[in-house]
Amino acid sequence: MVPLNDSNGDRSDRWEAQLRKGCLEMAILASLWGGRLYGLEMLRTLAERSGMDLAEGTLYPILARLKAEGLLVSEWVEADAGHPRKYYWLTAAGRRRTREMVEAWSNFSSSLSALVQPISGGKK
């Protein structure tokens, strides 16, 4: 009984991790919708507004790729605190891509909500 529960728990954890992983790129792009941010700010924004606890070692390589793909641009800015920060913001192509992803996401989640509504609604 106990091992069975454990393995089910593992499986649903893994499923949740996969789900979050799939949305990662959209979440990073979406965090920049309101304007420029630097890496640490992005991590904080994602944690505060989406509960995504993203590892540093995951974020920066993805930012490098999004930049190489022309979806983001970056610039070093000297902060008041005396050390520089690398800010990122969306290019026109990045905004287009973000909008497409968000649209696909909204369509997908609203069509699924109808299906899962009786389950989540019936939850005690």
Partner 1 sequence: MNTQPALDIRIGHYLARLESALHDLPSHQTDDIVREIRAHIVERLETSPDRQATVERVLASFGDPEDLAERYRTEFMLARAAHSYSPWLLLKTTGRWAMTGIRGFAVFMVAMVGYSMAAGFYLTAMLKPFMPTKVGLWVGRGSFDFGVRDSTEGVHELLGAYYTPVTLVLGILAVIGTTLLLRLLIRAGRSKQGKLQAL
- Identity of the amino acid at 33: W
> By CB under 8 A, what part of segment 20-39 binds partner 1?
20-22, 24-25, 39
Choices 2-10, 75-83, 109-117 (CB under 8 A): range interacting with partner 1: 75-83
- Is 96 a binder of partner 1 (CB under 8 A)? no
DSSP, residue by residue, the chain: -HHHHHHHHHHHHHHHHHHHHHHHHHHHHHHTTTS-EEHHHHHHHHHHHH-----HHHHHHHHHHHHHTTSEEEEEEE-TTSSEEEEEEE-HHHHHHHHHHHHHHHHHHHHHHHHHHHHHHT--
Contact with partner 1 (CB under 8 A): which of 9, 64, 99, 116? Answer: 64
Stretch that binds partner 1, among 1-9, 10-18, 103-111, 115-123 (CB under 8 A): 10-18
Instruction: Please give the structure tokens belonging to residue 92.
Output: 């026109």
Determine the interface stretch with partner 1 among 1-9, 18-26, 104-112, 113-121 (rule: CB under 8 A). Answer: 18-26
User: By C-beta, is 78 or 118 nearer to partner 1?
Assistant: 78
How crowded is residue 43: how many other Cβ atoms within 10 Å of its Cβ? 21
10, 16, 100, 103: which one contacts partner 1 (CB under 8 A)?
A: 16
13 binds partner 1 (CB under 8 A): yes
Q: Which residue, 95, 44, 56, 55, is CA-closest to 73?
A: 95
Contact set with partner 1 (CB under 8 A): 13, 16-17, 20-22, 24-25, 39-40, 52-58, 60-62, 64-65, 68-69, 76, 81, 83-86
